Amino acid sequence: MGNAVKMVPVEQAVGMVLCHDMTRITPHEKTVQFRKGHVIKEEDIPLLLSMGKEQIYLWEKPEGTLHENDAAEILAALCRGSHIDRQGPREGKIELFAQTDGVFEYDGSILNRINEIEELAIAARHNHTPVKAGEKLAGMKAVPLVIEEEKLRRAEKLAGAAPLMNVFPYILKRAAVITTGNEIARGRIQDDFTPALVKKLEGYGISVSKHIIVPDGTARITGAIAEARQSGPDLILCTGGMSVDPDDNTPGAIKQSGASIVTYGAPVMPGVMFLLGYFDHDLPVMGLPACVMYAGASIFDLILPRIAAGLRLSRQDFTRMGAGGLCLSCSPCRYPACPFGKGW
């Protein structure tokens, strides 16, 4: 596709694309009045004439093509979903920003397929990322100044009717914590797990509304889960007893409580022995391995933002986590500014 550059009288330039910056000089300042890529409008003509521009060099946009700003508008429209603001276009680029604290989600396979279309570019931060209001999420533009319209129509078809990107606000507010183990129930050691959980939950606006300490034993733990459910929490967390030792009863107790188990075990280290299930009304219940208490980052840090936003996870969500699921145990811990949990 060739772009024709030609010099035309300014009065005939409406709708054409400026091919270079145009500077306006006054006694007080020198500013770029019109930038390369600007589409000339009727109201621009008097100002251009006052700048001494009776003839200007322009790109003539061939039929079936779009200006880069128009292409960016189409890309932004197919990407921008709930709780997302936008800025631009500037220099042919539109950027998206979070309107609220929440978790940023998108379909990475569709994003990749759109980026496979030559001369289109959408760059996003990592999927499933916790974000704060005002943080940048993505940027998008066409590579050339003028692009074939058909490429944008292909992108729209790939994206479908639903927006590609969304920010889901945190909606869970109350957690019930069940601490298991004879050593804690009988006062032999201090419960250090619950304070660590409280700190992590607070980061997503969740408070501990009920705390039950129960000795080992499947029946006892199952009873504690039933008691916790009666208190009306948004989330139930069970700590302790998650390994394969014969006296570790928590996984079996969660199963006996009536929860539908999504996964017991995940390809994430630390956090392999993690359990997630749901009760019928979408109440999540988790079995947390000991690493959640002492590790700088674990599977719980990867999963909690999505759970806090009310997103229901599937078995496949966990099987995909192996790529990027290995923590390198850096000292000091740099999470979340590190590769952990970034490959899926």
Domains and CATH numbers, the chain: 4-60 (3.90.105.10), 65-167 (3.90.1170), 174-322 (3.40.980.10)
> Can you give the pLDDT at residue 27?
82
- Residue 329, phi-psi category: left (phi > 0), alpha (psi -120 to 50), beta (remainder): left
Q: First vs last Cα of the chain: how many Å apart?
A: 37
Tally of CB atoms within 10 A around 7: 9
Q: Strand 22-25 and strand 30-34: pairing?
A: antiparallel
Print burial letters for 45-60: b (CB count within 10 Å at least 16), e (below 16). Answer: beebeebebeebebbe
Nearest to 21 by CA among 37, 44, 3, 1: 37
DSSP state of 86: E
Question: What phi and psi values does residue 302 have, to the nearest 5 degrees?
Answer: -80, -35
CA gap 182, 320 in Å, rounded = 36
Give the chain's radius of gyration (CA, Å).
28
- Could you tell me which residues are beta bridge partners of residue 60? 4
Longest dimension (CA), the chain: 91
Contact of 309 with 170, CB cutoff 8 Å: yes
Secondary structure of residue 51 in the 3-state scheme: coil
Contact of 187 with 151, CB cutoff 8 Å: no
235 to each of 225, 242, 312, how far by Cα in Å?
11, 18, 12
CA gap 273, 267 in Å, rounded = 9
Nearest to 205 by CA among 310, 285, 123, 295: 310
CA gap 44, 13 in Å, rounded = 10
Token pair listed for 261: 């188990």
Secondary structure of residue 228 in the 3-state scheme: helix
Residue 338 CB contacts under 8 Å (≥ 6 apart), including other chains: 297, 328, 330
Fill in the amino acid letter for 231. Answer: S
CA gap 293, 300 in Å, rounded = 10
Which residues of the chain carry a pLDDT beneath 50? Answer: 1-2
Query: Between helices 193-202 and 299-308, what is the axis angle to 10°?
Result: 50
**Cβ neighbourhood burial of 154 (10 Å; 0-12, 13-18, 19+):** middle
Print burial letters for 294-327: b (CB count within 10 Å at least 16), e (below 16). Answer: ebbbbbbbbbbbbbbbebeeeeebbeebeebbeb
Q: Which pTM was predicted? A: 0.85
Print burial letters for 88-124: b (CB count within 10 Å at least 16), e (below 16). Answer: bbeebbbbbbbebbbbbbbeeebbeebeebeebebeb
